[in-house]
């Protein structure tokens, strides 16, 4: 269910970006834009969920170690950069 919502959100963002590019008369590269979305959306969703949970459950958030938040964030950033630039590729054997 989450993956379906994520894909719908991504398709909606691509549709809006394509319409904006057509209005401006700019060439729109859908593959590159989808790559950017795959790289940045997990980081933005992580921030959004963390802010949401810190507002709803402020006492629970104080028990989460500070370093855990940053470790997850750095992992998501490295994963996003790898998805965008394709430094490490995992081949199906």
Higher-pLDDT residue of 93 and 13 is 13
Percent of the chain with pLDDT over 70: 98
pTM (2 d.p.): 0.72
Displacement of CA 68 from its chain's centroid (Å): 19
Q: How far apart are CA 83 and CA 33, in angstroms?
A: 12
Closest listed residue to residue 33, CA positions, set 10, 61, 56: 10
Q: How is residue 92 annotated by DSSP?
A: P
- Is it the case that residue 61 has pLDDT exceeding 90? no
Cβ-contact 84, 33 below 8 angstroms:
no
């Amino acid at each position: 269910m989450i993956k379906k919502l994520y894909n719908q959100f991504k398709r909606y963002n691509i549709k809006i970006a394509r319409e904006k590019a057509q209005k401006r008369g700019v060439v729109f590269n859908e593959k590159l834009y989808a790559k950017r979305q795959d790289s940045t959306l997990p980081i933005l969703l992580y921030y959004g969920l963390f802010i949401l949970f810190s507002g709803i459950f402020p006492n629970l958030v104080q028990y989460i170690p500070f370093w855990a938040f940053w470790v997850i964030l750095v992992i998501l950033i490295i994963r996003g950069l790898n998805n965008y630039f394709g430094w490490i590729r995992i081949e199906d054997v």
